[in-house]
């Protein structure tokens, strides 16, 4: 693909940033508050708007409920749109309530299952009010010990609950069904891999699709192959970007394994329209807005490199059985310095050529620290 064509595709790229990526977070051992952290969903939206202003690509924000709950969703939508954003996927929370200790929609207690389904249905209504077109579903449901529960019975409850939700799904919404190999369940996770999620989606209907998260696999899993398989089946609904060294580390995307990110985008770029692309990270020790900006920049660069692959030459090498020749075609694109190209695209979008430098020069972090900390003292 020529550079002008790559620039055209890059201008169309949309990355959803997560509201929860701007607030307090931590490890399993501690939460580390940061100066200037947003105190409510409106301030989280303000931070997301700053990331979009700097990068030109982050025009959507994914929301999480009840974390982002408010009394007036009309006012929240107005606030979002006034800052040049739109609502991405809605993420129900079915893992923090004490009732969900042993599961939510797979729980052995019918009362708990009904409560979980009621929250999922509530989120359908919230999404409709906010103009969102997707429900992003991740369940912490699973077991820690053999014999703790009946695995087949849990699957039956899972399908029963999701079928109830799917039956009420508005015509303009879809279900994105995520999976995770382990954590917090360590013996059996009810949705453990792409195959189990795909089977659920196939039973539910065409508007149920699989959501892939980079951190939710075993070490060494070929995630780009999963992307290719799900895309080929028409069931690749979205992708959660982060990076990891060991497990679900939720590090800045592209920080540990940038070549893997490039290969994933190579597969994504070959499927036609891109699926929903969302950052899902926990910035525990790094500055949150800056980390989000860096993530978006890394995604822009990975996508640009993937678009530069000479696919005709690649097919020729593959057809000739030229093993290393085909590999070299990918390496040629991966080794390209696309930073000037991406800077031109950001400039054309009215964003910053160097977003990190622009963020630091703007004093945004210091202003938010002063404004939000002062307001917090007044509230106290």
What residues does each domain of the chain span?
Answer: 10-379
pTM score above 0.75: yes
DSSP state string for 184-245: S-SSEESS-SHHHHHHHHHHH-TTEEEEEETTSS-TT--HHHHHHHHHHTT-EEEEEE-B-S
Packing angle, helices 288-307 and 3-11, rounded to 10: 140
Q: If you search the block for the tokens 């969703």, which residue do you land on?
A: 73
Tokens of 293: 């900006």
- Contact call for residues 16 and 61 (beta carbons, < 8 A): yes
Per-residue pLDDT, 377: 46
* CATH superfamily name and code, 10-379: Divalent-metal-dependent TIM barrel enzymes (3.20.20.150)
How many DSSP H helices and E strands does the chain contain? 14, 10
Q: Is the pLDDT of residue 374 over 70?
A: no
Q: What is the pLDDT of residues 82-101, one digit of tens each?
A: 999 999 999 999 999 999 99
Q: What is the pLDDT of residues 188-231, one digit of tens each?
A: 999 999 999 999 999 999 999 999 999 999 999 999 999 999 99
* CB contact set of 82 (below 8 Å; sequence gap of 6+): none
């Amino acid at each position: 693909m020529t550079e002008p064509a790559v620039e055209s595709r890059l201008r169309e790229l949309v990355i959803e940033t997560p509201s929860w990526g701007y607030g307090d977070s931590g490890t399993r051992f501690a939460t580390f508050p940061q100066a200037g952290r947003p105190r409510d969903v409106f301030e989280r939206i303000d931070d997301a708007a700053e990331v979009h202003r700097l990068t030109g690509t982050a025009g959507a924000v994914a929301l999480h409920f009840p974390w982002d709950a408010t009394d007036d969703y009309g006012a929240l939508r107005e606030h979002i749109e006034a800052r040049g954003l739109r609502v991405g996927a809605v993420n129900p929370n079915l893992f923090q309530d004490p009732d969900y200790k042993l599961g939510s929609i797979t729980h052995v207690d019918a009362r708990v299952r009904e409560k979980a389904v009621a929250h999922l249905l509530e989120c359908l209504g919230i999404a409709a009010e906010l103009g969102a077109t997707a429900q992003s579903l991740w369940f912490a449901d699973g077991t820690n010990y053999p014999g703790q529960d009946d695995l087949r019975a849990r699957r039956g409850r899972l399908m029963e609950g999701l079928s109830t939700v799917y039956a009420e799904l508005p015509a303009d919404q879809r279900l994105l069904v995520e999976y995770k190999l382990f954590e917090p369940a360590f013996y059996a996770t009810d949705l453990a891999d792409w195959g189990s999620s795909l089977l659920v989606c196939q039973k539910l209907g065409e508007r149920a699709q699989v959501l892939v998260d980079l951190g939710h696999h075993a070490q060494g899993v070929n995630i780009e192959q999963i992307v290719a398989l799900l895309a080929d089946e028409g069931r690749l609904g979205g992708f959660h970007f982060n990076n990891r060294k060991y497990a679900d580390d939720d590090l800045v995307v592209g920080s540990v394994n940038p070549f893997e990110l490039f290969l994933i985008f190579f597969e994504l770029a070959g499927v036609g329209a891109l699926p929903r692309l969302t950052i899902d990270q926990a910035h525990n020790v790094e500055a949150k807005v800056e980390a989000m900006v860096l993530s978006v920049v890394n995604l822009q660069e990975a996508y640009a490199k993937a678009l530069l692959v000479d696919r005709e030459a690649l097919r020729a090498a593959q057809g000739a059985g030229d093993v290393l020749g085909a590999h070299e075609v990918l390496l040629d694109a991966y080794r390209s310095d696309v930073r000037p190209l991406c800077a031109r695209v950001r400039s054309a979008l009215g964003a910053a050529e160097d977003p990190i430098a622009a963020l630091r020069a703007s004093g945004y972090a210091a202003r938010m620290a002063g404004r939000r900390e002062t307001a917090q003292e007044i509230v106290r």
